Amino acid sequence: MKIVVCLKQTFDTEAKITINPDGKINDQGVSLIMNPYDEFAVEEALRLQEKNGGEVTVVSVGGAKAQDALRQALAMGADKAVLVTAELAAMDEYSTATILAKAIAGLEYDLIIGGFRAVDDGSAQVAGRVAEILGLPVVNVVTKLEVADGKALATREIEGGSEVVEVPLPAVITAQKGLNEPRYPSMKGIMKAKKKPMEKKDPAGLGLDAAAVAARVCALEYFLPAPRAAGKIIPGEPAEATAALVRALREEARII
Amino acid sequence: MIFKLSEEQELLKKTVRDFAESEVAPKAAEMDENEEYDWSLWDQMAEMGLTGIPFPEEYGGAGMDNLSYAIAVEELSRVCASTGVLVSAHTSLGSWPIYHFGTEEQKQKFLVPLAEGEKIGALGLTEPSAGSDAGSVKLTAVADGDEYVLNGTKIFITNGGRADIYVVIASTDKSKGHRGTAAFIVEKDTPGFTFGKKEHKMGIRASYTYELVFENCRVPKENMLGGDGKGFKVALATLDGGRIGIAAQALGIAQGAFDQALAYSKIREQFGKPISANQGLQWMLADMATRIDAARLLVYRAAYLKDEGQPYGKESAMAKLYASECAMWVTTKAVQIFGGYGYTREYPVERMMRDAKITEIYEGTSEVQRIVIAANLLK
């Protein structure tokens, strides 16, 4: 069974976000990690491989540093990596998905897995777009996955409950927290990772010209949320304080 | 000079930090309080290959270098010094002498399960009257048929009680002094080998420190390590490398306390501003960071020299001396920055300060490190 995992390198979830004078997000000195949802995807692919045999290929579109996230996936146990470096002035979900789909189209696959969203822009669009471009079914926010006889049985989160969906392979699955507990790379895995193939490409090499991958969406402005105001302590006897609290929730906060 | 970690070393550092912060840190305070280690952490470390980092794959190790090993001990110690010394004593003191001095049979039988983490290692050197004076051990080993009979006691043995395999330094011929010593590999549960009292310590309280008691303990002759007369040599060579592990532990403790103090200084407000806005405190932070960086360069250099096959006895003593004194100084400052809160067990810095002290004492006190350094300068 051949499995492709799409992964993205993102800011560390504890990184402090600041905005440069030019209005762009400052990425200098920020520590980068593999998108945590993509870690679930890598782990699931490795478990399926351990059970059914086959090969796991990890693919990323990003800057040269995205190599670190791919190397981590190789250290966890993936077999090979493809890095498409796209140094475009602006990219959106369309650009990324177009490049990813083209890179994946050149690979053999029975299953494509990715995180259901990235923790940085949180758009949750890329995997779905890849499925659309490749003409594959997609099951999102999956918390349990079984694969047998050319089919995938996926349990996904829906409002107020779960839904079990069956799709024929090949298909695209997006991972939600709860799907599994990702392993730490082993020391032997880290040593082996360097020797595993890491193929490097760019959009032109994939046959995509600049117009084909140009962003369709343009971010006009980035701004930080207003700093949270200090909390308010309502003094007094419990009965009076409760009455004052209810009044404040109703009249000031207007939430009840 | 290239001050840059390799890609593997970077990934190892990140991996061990993730593991330490997610799995070890949440348990550190409780393990310290109860003087009990949570051995599920050992199983996880074995699974990850942290129990045999610097040994070749053919002996169950990860095939990494000594610098990688030092970085791993540093990162574990940054959140829990007891975990740092568990790995350090297991690797540098229990496993390394078997790797370096052992026969192929000894390596297959003892090193492989140690490196794979199936077994835990320890070194039995210190006695009531022989610490750094390794030549004056009183524990005797007398040949009898195909065996040696061991009698005597060892004290302050890190990983004692829990370890499965002990490298024990014994006297085989008292008249020859340190030339009449030998090292033996002794397995737990060998008849005549028991554990005495457990030490209750100021710091590294989740690390087990026991007395080892040998009463007519019969050890097969093939368990002698490095040959008769070589016990002192095995002990000294092991301590040279062990110092890198303890220096890395001290470095990690210092870094952990500094990270806590830096974060706290930015959120703790007094007189309407964070305490980090005061220059007096800024200077403290600057000095802490500078000393830690200097310690790191010394530790990494000692590990690098070992990897390069160059002499490293003097440099590992310098690293151990400086990093341990740095850890004591930095953790004391960290408690100061936390003020009254730092003195309570609500915050980890008091534990780190208690943990730091031992690094100035074990595997050679700071005074002994100075003796080693001076002896190298004057030879």
Q: What is the pLDDT of residues A204-215, one digit of tens each?
A: 999 999 888 999
The b/e string for B255-290 (b: 16+ C-beta within 10 A; e otherwise) is bbbbebbeebbeebeeeeeebbeeeebeebbeebee
Q: Which pLDDT value is given to residue A38?
A: 97
- Asked if pLDDT for residue A255 goes beyond 90, the answer is no
Closest Cα in chain B to A194: B8
Query: Is A190's CB within 8 Å of B15's CB?
Result: yes
Output phi, psi for A17, to 5 deg.
-90, 125
Q: How many domains does chain B divide into?
A: 3
Catalytic residue among B74, B75, B211, B363: B363
Asked if B320 contacts B241 with a C-beta cutoff of 8 angstroms, the reply is no
Provide Rg for chain A, Cα atoms: 22
- B311 residue type, one letter: P
Residue B42's domain spans which residues?
7-115
d(CA A123, CA A219): 13
Q: Which pLDDT value is given to residue A59?
A: 98
User: Average model confidence (pLDDT) for chain B?
Assistant: 96
Entry field: residues in chain A = 256
Residue A254 backbone zone (phi > 0: left; psi -120 to 50: alpha; other: beta)? left
Q: DSSP strand E in A26-137: where?
A: 32-34, 55-62, 80-85, 111-115
Helix axes of A66-76 and B7-19: crossing angle, nearest 10 degrees? 70
Q: Which pLDDT value is given to residue B216?
A: 97
pLDDT tens per residue across span A20-59: 988 888 888 888 999 999 999 999 999 999 999 999 999 9
Q: Is B117 on the interface with A (CB under 8 A)?
A: no
Q: Is B11 on the interface with A (CB under 8 A)?
A: yes
From the list A68, A187, A193, which residue is nearest B64 (CB)?
Answer: A187
**Cα distances (angstroms) measured from residue A112 to each of A33, A48, A192, B366:** 21, 12, 24, 57
**Cα distances (angstroms) measured from residue B302 to each of A201, B151, B170, B291, B324:** 40, 36, 29, 17, 15
From the list A72, A191, A193, which residue is nearest B62 (CB)?
Answer: A191
Burial label for A140, CB within 10 Å (0-12, 13-18, 19+), is buried
Looking at the fold, whether B89 and B214 belong to one and the same domain comes out as no
Query: Is A187's CB within 8 Å of B48's CB?
Result: yes
d(CA B124, CA B192): 15
State both tokens at B268: 């703790």
Q: Which residues of A touch B63 (CB under 8 A)?
A: 188, 191
Percent of the residues in chain B that have a pLDDT greater than 90, as a whole number:
95
d(CA B185, CA B219): 8
**Position B222 confidence tier, pLDDT thresholds 50, 70, 90:** very high
Last residue of a domain, which of B162, B195, B229? B229
Looking at the fold, whether B187 and B267 belong to one and the same domain comes out as no
Looking at the fold, whether B27 and B56 belong to one and the same domain comes out as yes
Q: Is B47 on the interface with A (CB under 8 A)?
A: yes
In a domain, B31, yes or no: yes
Question: What is the arithmetic mean of pLDDT over B96-116?
Answer: 98
From the list B10, B14, B53, which residue is nearest A187 (CB)?
Answer: B53
Q: Which pLDDT value is given to residue B318?
A: 98
Asked if A184 contacts B18 with a C-beta cutoff of 8 angstroms, the reply is yes
Domains and CATH numbers, chain A: 2-213 (3.40.50.620), 230-256 (no CATH)
Give the minimum alpha-carbon distance from B46 to chain A in angstroms, rounded to a whole number. Answer: 9
Looking at the fold, whether B47 and B166 belong to one and the same domain comes out as no
Closest Cα in chain B to A75: B11
- Asked if pLDDT for residue B292 goes beyond 90, the answer is yes
| B187 carries an active-site annotation | no
Q: Which residues of B touch A189 (CB under 8 A)?
A: 49
Query: Is A188's CB within 8 Å of B49's CB?
Result: yes
B19 Cβ contact partners less than 8 Å away, ≥ 6 residues apart: A184, B44, B45, B48
Asked if B161 contacts B198 with a C-beta cutoff of 8 angstroms, the reply is yes
Query: Is B62's CB within 8 Å of A68's CB?
Result: no
Output phi, psi for A200, to 5 deg.
-115, 130
Looking at the fold, whether B350 and B252 belong to one and the same domain comes out as yes
State both tokens at A42: 């890598």
d(CA B97, CA B103): 11
In a domain, B208, yes or no: yes
A210 Cβ contact partners less than 8 Å away, ≥ 6 residues apart: A88, A203
CATH number for the domain spanning B287: value is: 1.20.140.10
d(CA B117, CA B125): 22
Residue A133: closest CA among A92, A175, A167, A95:
A95
User: How does DSSP classify residue A173?
Assistant: E
Q: Is B62 on the interface with A (CB under 8 A)?
A: yes
Looking at the fold, whether B318 and B364 belong to one and the same domain comes out as yes
CATH number for the domain spanning B49: value is: 1.10.540.10
State both tokens at A256: 């009840």
Q: Which pLDDT value is given to residue B177?
A: 85
d(CA B353, CA A208): 59
* Helix, strand or coil, per DSSP, at residue B175: helix
Question: What is the arithmetic mean of pLDDT over B48-77?
Answer: 97
pLDDT tens per residue across span B232-288: 999 999 998 899 999 999 999 999 999 999 999 999 999 999 999 999 999 999 999
State both tokens at B74: 């540093």
Q: Which pLDDT value is given to residue A232?
A: 82
State both tokens at A95: 């650009």
Q: Which pLDDT value is given to residue B55?
A: 97
Looking at the fold, whether B48 and B154 belong to one and the same domain comes out as no
Neighbours of A130 (CB within 10 A): 27
CATH number for the domain spanning B147: value is: 2.40.110.10
B195 Cβ contact partners less than 8 Å away, ≥ 6 residues apart: B160, B161, B210, B211, B212, B213
Q: Which residues of A touch B10 (CB under 8 A)?
A: 68
In a domain, B2, yes or no: no
Looking at the fold, whether B214 and B252 belong to one and the same domain comes out as no
Looking at the fold, whether B224 and B328 belong to one and the same domain comes out as no
- Asked if pLDDT for residue A88 goes beyond 80, the answer is no
Query: Is A187's CB within 8 Å of B62's CB?
Result: yes
Q: Which pLDDT value is given to residue B26?
A: 98
In a domain, B94, yes or no: yes
User: Average model confidence (pLDDT) for chain A?
Assistant: 93
In a domain, B1, yes or no: no
Q: Which pLDDT value is given to residue A41?
A: 98
| β-pair partners for B1 | none
- Asked if pLDDT for residue A230 goes beyond 80, the answer is no
Query: Is B8's CB within 8 Å of A190's CB?
Result: yes
Burial label for A216, CB within 10 Å (0-12, 13-18, 19+), is exposed
Q: Is B288 on the interface with A (CB under 8 A)?
A: no
Looking at the fold, whether B272 and B169 belong to one and the same domain comes out as no
Q: Is B269 on the interface with A (CB under 8 A)?
A: no
Q: Which pLDDT value is given to residue A229?
A: 78
pLDDT tens per residue across span A133-168: 999 999 999 999 999 999 999 999 999 999 999 999
Give the minimum alpha-carbon distance from A227 to chain B in angstroms, rounded to a whole number. Answer: 15
Query: Is A187's CB within 8 Å of B18's CB?
Result: no
- Asked if pLDDT for residue A231 goes beyond 90, the answer is no
- Asked if pLDDT for residue A256 goes beyond 90, the answer is no
- Asked if pLDDT for residue A16 goes beyond 90, the answer is no
Query: Is B12's CB within 8 Å of A187's CB?
Result: yes
Asked if B18 contacts B25 with a C-beta cutoff of 8 angstroms, the reply is no
Q: Which residues of B touch A71 (CB under 8 A)?
A: 7, 11
Closest Cα in chain B to A193: B8
Looking at the fold, whether B210 and B266 belong to one and the same domain comes out as no
Last residue of a domain, which of B209, B229, B249? B229
pLDDT tens per residue across span B54-66: 999 999 999 999 9
Query: Is A71's CB within 8 Å of B64's CB?
Result: no
Q: Is B59 on the interface with A (CB under 8 A)?
A: no
d(CA A222, CA B23): 36
Query: Is A191's CB within 8 Å of B53's CB?
Result: no
Last residue of a domain, which of B115, B149, B169? B115
Query: Is B15's CB within 8 Å of A185's CB?
Result: yes
From the list A68, A71, A191, which residue is nearest B64 (CB)?
Answer: A191
In a domain, B131, yes or no: yes
**Position A228 confidence tier, pLDDT thresholds 50, 70, 90:** confident
Closest Cα in chain B to A32: B14
Asked if B348 contacts B260 with a C-beta cutoff of 8 angstroms, the reply is yes
Give the minimum alpha-carbon distance from B159 to chain A in angstroms, rounded to a whole number. Answer: 23
Closest Cα in chain B to A183: B48
Looking at the fold, whether B104 and B129 belong to one and the same domain comes out as no
- Asked if pLDDT for residue A87 goes beyond 80, the answer is no
